[in-house]
A and B are shown apart, each in its own frame.
Chain A
């Protein structure tokens, strides 16, 4: 079993929909959680960075962490065609080699006009 699981999709939604992207993980020591967006032929771009549990909101994006269920989510409100990309989750723990991130494989999202 991988440490981080992420449904690869593809996920296709109409413009304006609310999108929910999710990752599950197995290591209860993870405390730092990140979401990245990657457009085709570009590098990943940091969208959200959260520590421990709870919600964080930035514009149309909300990141949610549920440590009891070992589950993180990224919600996109009022989705736009420009949100079409692959979304990657990443996480790390304070212990051990905490520079290393553990990555999901990414979910491909298409927002249709």
Chain B
């Protein structure tokens, strides 16, 4: 079974803080993803990575950065947290490179982040 583990289930931070969200997967997947999920807006892709040290912007990268130093770990960084970044953050991973990359994504249980 694929296991994607997010470091915190709930997190409360203050405006202006630098926030780190961590994600680890145990299936040797090449691809890892960060989403946020908001009512009425669904899942929106922030960033993804298809290899160590490689990253690509998703649909809403502003205010976020990512780091992938090891294959199994993908970090999301909120450079200076703002109240509009209060959300549920979901990490996912998938198998495959190149034309085999249309594989389903497997998700962690999410981090509910509140910015006060």
Q: Which residues of A contact B (CB under 8 A)?
A: 31-32, 34, 36, 41-46, 49, 88, 90, 92, 94, 97-101, 103-106
Q: Give the distance in Å from the alpha carbon of A100 to the alpha carbon of B109 in the complex.
A: 20
Instruction: Provide the bound-state CA to CA distance between A105 and B41, in Å.
Output: 7
- The answer to whether B45 and A100 have CB atoms under 8 Å apart is yes
State how many angstroms separate the Cβ of B86 from the closest Cβ of chain A. Answer: 15
Residues in A whose Cβ lies below 8 Å from that of B104: 34, 46, 49
Contact residues of B between 66 and 116, Cβ < 8 Å to A = 90, 92, 94, 99, 101-102, 104-110, 112
Docked Cα-Cα span, A44 to B92, in Å, equals: 9
Residues of B within 8 A of A49 (CB): 104
Contact A99 B50, beta carbon cutoff 8 Å: yes
The main secondary structure of chain B at its interface with chain A is strand
In which size bucket is the chain B interface?
20 to 34
Q: Is the CB of A31 within 8 A of B102?
A: yes
Chain B residues whose CB sits within 8 angstroms of the CB of A90 once the complex forms? 105
Question: Does residue B26 face the partner (Cβ distance < 8 Å to A)?
Answer: no
Residues of B within 8 A of A (CB): 4, 31, 33, 40-43, 45, 48, 50, 56, 58, 90, 92, 94, 99, 101-102, 104-110, 112
Contact (Cβ within 8 A) A43 B90: yes
Contact A106 B48 (CB under 8 A): no
Q: Chain A nearest CB: distance from B93 CB in Å?
A: 11
Closest 10 CB pairs of A and B: A43-B107, A105-B42, A32-B102, A103-B43, A43-B109, A99-B101, A49-B104, A98-B102, A46-B104, A44-B107
Residues on the A chain within 8 Å of B101, using CB:
98-99
* In the complex, residue of chain A having the shortest beta-carbon distance to the beta carbon of B98: A98
Instruction: Given A43-B90, A44-B90, decide whether A100 and B110 contact each other with a Cβ distance below 8 A.
Output: no
CA distance A86 to B66 in the complex (A): 29
A94 near B106: Cβ-Cβ < 8 Å: no
Q: Kindly state the separation between the CA atoms of A36 and B110 in the bound complex, as whole angstroms.
A: 15
Chain B residues positioned under 8 Å from A31 (CB to CB): 102
Closest to A36 in B: B107
- Tell me the bound Cα distance from A92 to B100 in angstroms: 12
Contact B90 A106 (CB under 8 A): no
